Amino acid sequence: MLIQFSVSNFLSFDETETLSMIAGKARKNIDRIYKSKKIKLTKCEVILGANASGKSNLVSALQFIQQMIVEGLPLGFSNKYFRLKPENKNLP
């Protein structure tokens, strides 16, 4: 179960961006919230944004981490850093 996902220095993400599934205090549509003893999570999220705002790159980051978990670190991963800053090539 995905609770929180953070990405930085990957494709169009220079600084850390976070996708969180933790539910807020809203009481409307309570049936869309998963509750356990310790945490409340949303069952689904929507990603909205303007053209070229990084929505597809967020999906690419999720696919990259899924592939890394299942198959190990993929070949060619060093090409996916934030290329507008050449110094980012050596950052994690």
Residue 5's pLDDT band, with cuts at 50, 70 and 90, is very high
Number of domains, the chain: 1
- pLDDT reported for residue 4: 92
Parent domain of 23: 4-90
Q: Are 74 and 64 in contact (CB under 8 A)?
A: yes
Task: Count the Cβ atoms, other than its own, within 10 Å of residue 81.
Answer: 21
Q: What is the pTM of this model?
A: 0.76
Q: pLDDT tens digits, residue range 37-92?
A: 888 898 888 888 899 888 898 998 898 888 888 988 767 666 777 877 888 788 77
Which range, 9-13, 15-19, 73-77, is most confident?
A: 15-19
